[in-house]
Amino acid sequence: MNAAARAEPASPDTSLKQATSSTSHLDGLRIVAACAVVVLHYSDYLKDHAVGRFMVDHSWHFNLFVDLFFVVSGFVIARLYFDSVGDAASTGRFLWRRIARIYPLHLATLAFYVVIALALHSGLARTDNPARYPLSDLPAQLLLLHAFDGERLTFNFPSWSLSAEMFCYLLFPLVAAVTARRKGLIIALVVLPALANSLYVAFAGTEPWADWINKGGAFRALPGFNLGVACYLFRDRIAGWPVMPGALVASLIAFVMLGWLLSPMAALIAVYAIALLAIQSDCAGRVTLFSRLGFDRWSSLTYSCYMLHIPVATVVLTFAARLLSPILPDAKLLLAPVALVVLAAASIASFNYFETPIRRYLTAAFDRRFAPTSAVSAIRRQETAT
């Protein structure tokens, strides 16, 4: 290579691709969001204590961090697959990879709660909340339909977001096909679902769509997911936005501390804004205070933490606390740190020894069956946490 060739600057497309090769801000936000959801749900277990009541009153808005997952997922899925879902074979492989990522742990945690449900229905155990274990909700849970019309907060209830994500995955090839020719149409695919949700709330008199979970949660997810896709398609423009040093950390802290003062829809908009700030930093390839904090090193545990925190709470904060309550009146409060330690260990073990091996096995089995002679890409890092 001659000197002139060596001195030639990289093209804008190449520079942008290099800048977006790292998603350290989005990865860091994912694990922060998962931890916030843990705090929200564990606070409810402690609501008989003053600290628990305070946390419940001042952390309700942490449930909107799930919408941050939807935005991040849309961006990362578009980044990995936008040009790879152009035909039936590639679309099938994309959907199988997503199922291989999310379904095994969902099935495992559901099985855990089915065992409890059977024990309750047979009289071998008791609960203060029998409505959480309706066997009638099992078909929707198994088919990942419980974000459409499932029973509210049943079994491993955070899994409603998996149903919502799967809805977005099913629509993604269509979204990619439509916007590949005219990427500006993605704006309509963000605005129209949000408008439709808002009109339904206005005419049906339901709760704000930012609060939809098992009744319409899939439609709650769609604007955020498409917003993430839009950010990927317009990543070159986003990379050129003016930089506000410290904006991401400041906005995140402000939302955590003061978000409880907002209405649900205002809190949703705030979460979208936080996601956009993270995407801007990643698109521009910037090193910021947030990325220096190194949260992204734990991002692979996001899904494990999110899916296992309620089963861990059931074992530690319900079963163990009930056993210890005769000798420890404040058993739940004392066991809360134990639950966090158990959750961390369980998340690491699940990711390394359950989720990753079974995902690789299922992906390889699909490739052997449907693409035996073609080279297939290895599972990429971003796929492990989305």
Instruction: Give the C-alpha separation, 73 to 227, whole Å.
Output: 10
| pLDDT score for 372 | 54
Mean pLDDT of 184-198: 97
| pLDDT score for 383 | 55
Q: Please report whether residue 284 resides in a domain.
A: yes
| pLDDT score for 21 | 54
Task: Write out the two tokens for 228.
Answer: 């993430």
Instruction: Give the C-alpha separation, 293 to 273, whole Å.
Output: 20
Mean pLDDT of 43-48: 92
Q: Please report whether residue 15 resides in a domain.
A: no
Mean pLDDT rounded to a whole number for the chain? 89
Statement: residue 22 has pLDDT above 60: yes
| pLDDT score for 178 | 95
Q: Please report whether residue 138 resides in a domain.
A: yes
CB-side exposure of 174: number of CA atoms within 13 Å? 6
In this prediction the pTM is 0.90
Instruction: Give the C-alpha separation, 201 to 118, whole Å.
Output: 37
Q: Please report whether residue 22 resides in a domain.
A: no
| pLDDT score for 15 | 43
Q: Please report whether residue 254 resides in a domain.
A: yes
| pLDDT score for 5 | 36
Statement: residue 265 has pLDDT above 60: yes
Q: Please report whether residue 370 resides in a domain.
A: yes
| pLDDT score for 27 | 96
Burial of residue 200 (CB within 10 Å: 0-12, 13-18, 19+) is: middle
What is the SS3 assignment for 21? coil
Statement: residue 385 has pLDDT above 70: no
Domain range enclosing 193: 38-384
Statement: residue 7 has pLDDT above 60: no
Statement: residue 132 has pLDDT above 90: no
Each residue's pLDDT tens digit, 76-123: 999 999 999 989 999 999 999 999 999 999 999 999 999 999 998 887
Number of compact structural domains in the chain: 1
Task: Write out the two tokens for 221.
Answer: 């997810």
Higher-scoring residue by pLDDT: 386, 97:
97
Nearest to 360 by CA among 84, 91, 101: 101
Residue 127: pLDDT band with limits 50, 70, 90: confident
Each residue's pLDDT tens digit, 205-231: 999 999 999 989 999 999 999 999 999
CB of 83 closer than 8 Å to CB of 174: no
Higher-scoring residue by pLDDT: 330, 196:
196
Contacts of residue 355, defined as CB under 8 A and 6 or more positions apart, other chains included, come to: 101, 104, 105, 303, 304, 384
Q: Please report whether residue 134 resides in a domain.
A: yes
Q: Please report whether residue 10 resides in a domain.
A: no
Percent above pLDDT 70 for the chain? 90
| pLDDT score for 168 | 98
| pLDDT score for 380 | 52
Measured from the Cβ of residue 88, the count of other Cβ atoms closer than 10 Å reads 9
Higher-scoring residue by pLDDT: 151, 310:
310
DSSP 194: H
| pLDDT score for 2 | 40
